[in-house]
A = this chain, B = another copy of it.
Amino acid sequence: MTIELINTGSELLLGFVLNTHQQWICRQLTDLGHTVSRQVAVPDGGHDIQQAVREALGRADLVITTGGLGPTCDDLTRDLIAQLLKRRLLHDEAALQNIARFFAGRGRPMPERTKVEALVPEGAMVLMNANGTAPGLAIEVNPNPFRPDGRPSLLVMLPGPPRELRPMFSQQVVPLLARHFPLNEAFVCRTLKTTGIGESYMEERISAPLRHLTDAGMDLGFCARVGEVDVRFVARGPRAAATVAEAEAITRSKAGEHIFGEQDDSLESVLVRELTARGQKLALAESCTGGHIANRITNIPGASAILLAGFVTYANEAKMVTLGVREETLKSHGAVSEATAREMAEGARRVTGADYALSVTGIAGPGGGTDDKPVGTVFMALASAKGTTVVRQLNRFDRETFKYLTAQQVMMMLYRELQAGRHA
């Protein structure tokens, strides 16, 4: 099955916005067992959109477009595709009612211009928009005049705003694809999330032990990001589930200390979940990460149940006044030292009464390094009822990467502590 994705929008080609649709839609399809073979972005406007859709329909079984379904003068996708397919645009009363309900729910009058969104190419299926006004559209192009052999293609048109597109895709397009393009065999896809190990080292550890599974057809994939490597197993056929389960068990036995979650887990979401389940509390004392860890943890709904406080103690004075770090410690060891990291974590735990406190102090750069403690040096500590552990790392990266990676390392310290507690 061949799939092509067409993103419309001049703002994409002017470089004013990131094309997040590409990654999101491609990832959804990958997890469903399909692969997108080409993605194209074209500006709003007649010629390019029609040419891109014509070319894609000439090659692909499924063509997905995003954008250009709204009410303004540069929303031309609906009209241009109807014209290309030689289909009339017909008023759809159910679509109009849905739009009217959207405005009524917000107590606002429906602008006259919005009615254009209820125009639907003849024979198209309407995908109601639960989070906006413009419906999506699905058209079976059959016979398909753009394919030499006339084989049919399915054309799905989705609205541009992500919070309209994403639920529409999950709730309406996914079932539609399951009907139109049933997988002819079982398909299982599983991702393990890891940190603290590079892609090639991970590959070294697990590729030989997994060889009997990959030789038998299982796909083994790695995806490296800053501070994380995803390990992905894909299997098909009647033994798919058993194969993936075996691959996971082997990987956990070979590299379990680096695994913190599955599928879309993040370290912060896993920590919030685990601490919530135990009814335990966390405090943070950040110097060089500057609130990055607190920000990530508080991005998770429900974080208030576990996070008591975070202290961004950039200045030495703040380390002393807020966390009780001793002047003597700062003078004799320096702000970036094992002793300071220890006192910061212990101070944060003492001040808040948290079960666990994490601290970080280091040199993010670009300035501030010395021979003894070069840029990238960082001390991180975990304080708990069992005592305090301090680790030294060297993270030589640009400022934002440094913060991200350091956060991964110190959050992983806590994750391992929680796992050890669970297994003890």
Contacts and interface: CB of A to CB of B under 8 A. Distances in A.
24 contacts: A13-B36, A16-B230, A17-B225, A19-B22, A37-B42, A37-B43, A37-B48, A290-B294, A290-B299, A291-B291, A291-B294, A294-B294, A294-B312, A298-B314, A298-B364, A299-B400, A301-B365, A301-B366, A304-B314, A307-B314, A309-B312, A310-B312, A312-B312, A315-B352
Nearest to A315: B308
Interface string A86-115: 000000000000000000000000000000
B25 A15 contact: yes
Q: Please classify how large the interface on chain A is, using the bins under 10, 10 to 19, 20 to 34, 35 or more.
A: 35 or more
A18 interface: yes
A357 interface: no
A302 B308 CA distance: 29
A392 interface: no
Interface string A30-61: 10000111111111000010001000000000
A28 interface: yes
A246 interface: no
A373 interface: no
Contacts of A366: 301
Interface in A1-35: 11-20, 22-30, 35
Which secondary structure dominates chain A's binding surface? Answer: mixed
Interface string A378-419: 000000000000000000001110010000000000000000
A143 interface: no
B223 A17 contact: yes
A48 B30 CA distance: 19
Contacts of A295: 290-292, 294-295, 403
A364 to B, nearest CB: 8
4 closest residue pairs by CB, A with B: A290-B298, A15-B27, A291-B294, A15-B26
A289 to B, nearest CB: 8
A230 B301 CA distance: 31
A27 B23 contact: no
A321 B308 CA distance: 12
A314 B304 CA distance: 7
A23 B22 CA distance: 12
A346 to B, nearest CB: 16
A40 B43 contact: no
A314 B282 CA distance: 11
A289 B15 CA distance: 29
Contact of A318 (B52, B288, B308, B315): B308
